[in-house]
Amino acid sequence: MKRLLVLGVGNLLLTDEGVGVHAVNALGQESHWDFRQVDFLDGATFTQDIFHIFQEYECVLVLDAVKAGGVPGTIYRFTEANLRENEEQRLSLHDIDLLDSLRMAELLGNKPDLVVVGIEPLTINQWSMELSAPLQAAYPKFLEAARREIRLLLS
């Protein structure tokens, strides 16, 4: 069993909705990671179909666009408990599938710890493979927040 799966989710064709996929692809290209302990996966629009992959990991770090009402470019960190507490207003665009996948993984015998590092999008419904200006400006900080979390989860 590997220690960590870094899962980027989102749709690259819908501006800021694809920020998690952009990030996981960039981070996965960095050569300093111990790839015996960590995998990087483009989860695209993340359906419940990938819950079986969770069986192979102790922790899952999800990188995603998060609509939490902040200023575009605001970076967030959530645990599974934070996501479950917020039933009235879902934070992550994909957290409903994520929580269902964790439940299914648990039924199969292994439910990994979950952390989400997200960023507030400006737009998620315009066709473009480019991030909006606010997210382009905040993207280096988003990557650094993800790197810090990866280092923490691997320690």
Identify the pLDDT of residue 93: 52
Identify the pLDDT of residue 68: 84
Identify the pLDDT of residue 88: 44
Identify the pLDDT of residue 86: 66
HSE at residue 96, side-chain half, CA atoms within 13 A, is 5
pLDDT under 50: residue ranges of the chain: 88-89
Whole-structure pTM value: 0.88
Identify the pLDDT of residue 99: 74
Identify the pLDDT of residue 36: 95
Identify the pLDDT of residue 82: 80
Q: Which amino acid is at 6?
A: V
Q: Which two tokens stand for residue 152?
A: 């923490």
Domain ranges of the chain: 2-154
Identify the pLDDT of residue 48: 64
SS3 (DSSP) at 58:
strand
* Residue that has been written with the tokens 């419904």 in this structure: 125
Q: What class has domain 2-154?
A: alpha beta
Identify the pLDDT of residue 137: 98
